């Protein structure tokens, strides 16, 4: 996507979120940063050697984008809105580029970007994104995961704007957890402590007992079994991630 498009989307989002002009400028600058200085990701190369590679914008690593969004949210929780908007800007750059289909080996990259430059950002798309946004990390991840490349420029820009706006509204959304979320997290934690934690301890003790009696290697499997039992409590794992979005840990602090 051209800088003109990135700037327009960021400005429209800043307006929809009611950001003051200095913070709006940070979001705009952040959304241009990946084109100024390439982000690097670790990849596994030949002979399983790790190496640092430049992030491909139109095929960006979605986990990397989500990590940037978590960074933005943590800054938001710490009341560092300028840092939050800088990271958010960088992340939405990739969200927007991911919406543009550039063809096999990027053969249509230049022509598609040129076509895009002739299109204006739709306010409807920005407002739809903000209105339908949910203040939740699972919602944000669903957005990041679902972005698909569009070959048609106006559709690409519409989707890019809508997803970028929805994600931004969630990241910059209220930092206070709803009483419902606190209640659900508390219930999930209680159930985890009463059911899954004892099961994990008993499972580990049984394996250690069997290791002493029969095969010593069974002892090594004890921590794996405990971790698997704890992670099998999907509801608790889900709720903990939701809680982290609002800065509340397992201890509900």
Judged by the rule CB under 5 A, the positions of this chain that interact with Zn ion are: 35, 57, 97
**Cβ-count burial of 158 within 10 angstroms (0-12 exposed, 13-18 middle, 19+ buried)?**
buried
DSSP string, 173-215: S--SPPHHHHHHHHHHHHHIIIIIHHHHHHHHHHHHHHHHHT-
Q: Specify the residue, 89 or 243, whose C-beta has the smaller distance to Zn ion.
A: 89
CB of 151 to Zn ion, least distance (A): 18
Residues in the chain: 253
Joined tokens for residue 174: 């209220």
CB of 22 to Zn ion, least distance (A): 24
Q: Specify the residue, 58 or 76, whose C-beta has the smaller distance to Zn ion.
A: 58
> Which position's Cβ is nearest Zn ion?
57
Q: Specify the residue, 16 or 56, whose C-beta has the smaller distance to Zn ion.
A: 56
Q: Specify the residue, 6 or 73, whose C-beta has the smaller distance to Zn ion.
A: 6
Q: Specify the residue, 35 or 115, whose C-beta has the smaller distance to Zn ion.
A: 35
CB of 82 to Zn ion, least distance (A): 22
Q: Specify the residue, 57 or 73, whose C-beta has the smaller distance to Zn ion.
A: 57
CB of 154 to Zn ion, least distance (A): 19
Q: Specify the residue, 143 or 160, whose C-beta has the smaller distance to Zn ion.
A: 160
Q: Can you name the residues that pair with 51 across neighbouring β-strands?
A: 43
Chain centre distance of CA 81: 17
CB of 57 to Zn ion, least distance (A): 4
Q: How far apart are CA 191 and CA 202, in angstroms?
A: 16
3-state secondary structure 55-107: CCHHHCCHHHHHHHHHHHHHHHHCCCHHHHHHHHHHHHHHHHHHCECCCHHHC
Q: How far is CA 67 from CA 73, 88, 119, 141, 212, in A?
A: 10, 10, 30, 10, 43
CB of 60 to Zn ion, least distance (A): 9
CB of 105 to Zn ion, least distance (A): 17
At 173, give phi and psi (nearest 5°): -70, 180
Q: How far apart are CA 116 and CA 108, in angstroms?
A: 12
């Amino acid at each position: 996507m051209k800088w003109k498009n990135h700037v327009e989307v960021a400005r429209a989002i800043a307006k929809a979120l009611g950001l003051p002009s200095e913070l709006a400028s940070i979001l705009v600058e952040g959304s241009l940063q990946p084109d100024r200085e390439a982000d690097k990701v670790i990849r596994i190369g030949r002979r399983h050697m790790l190496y640092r590679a430049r992030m491909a914008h139109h095929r960006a690593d979605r986990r990397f984008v989500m990590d940037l969004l978590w960074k933005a949210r943590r800054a938001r929780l710490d009341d560092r809105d300028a840092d939050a908007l800088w990271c958010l800007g960088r992340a939405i750059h990739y969200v927007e580029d991911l919406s543009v289909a550039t063809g096999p080996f990027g053969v249509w990259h230049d022509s598609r970007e040129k076509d895009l430059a002739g299109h204006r950002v739709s306010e409807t798309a920005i407002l739809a994104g903000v209105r339908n946004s949910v203040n939740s990390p699972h919602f944000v991840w669903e957005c990041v995961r679902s972005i698909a490349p569009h070959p048609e420029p106006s559709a690409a820009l519409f989707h890019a704007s809508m997803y970028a706006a929805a994600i931004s509204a969630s990241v910059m959304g209220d930092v206070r957890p709803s009483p419902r979320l606190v209640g659900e997290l508390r219930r999930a934690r209680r159930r985890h402590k009463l059911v899954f934690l004892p099961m994990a301890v008993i499972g580990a003790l049984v394996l250690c007992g069997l290791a002493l009696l029969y095969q010593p290697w069974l002892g090594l499997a004890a921590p794996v079994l405990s971790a698997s039992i704890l992670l099998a409590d999907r509801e608790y794992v889900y709720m903990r991630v939701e809680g982290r979005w609002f800065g509340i840990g397992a201890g509900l602090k």
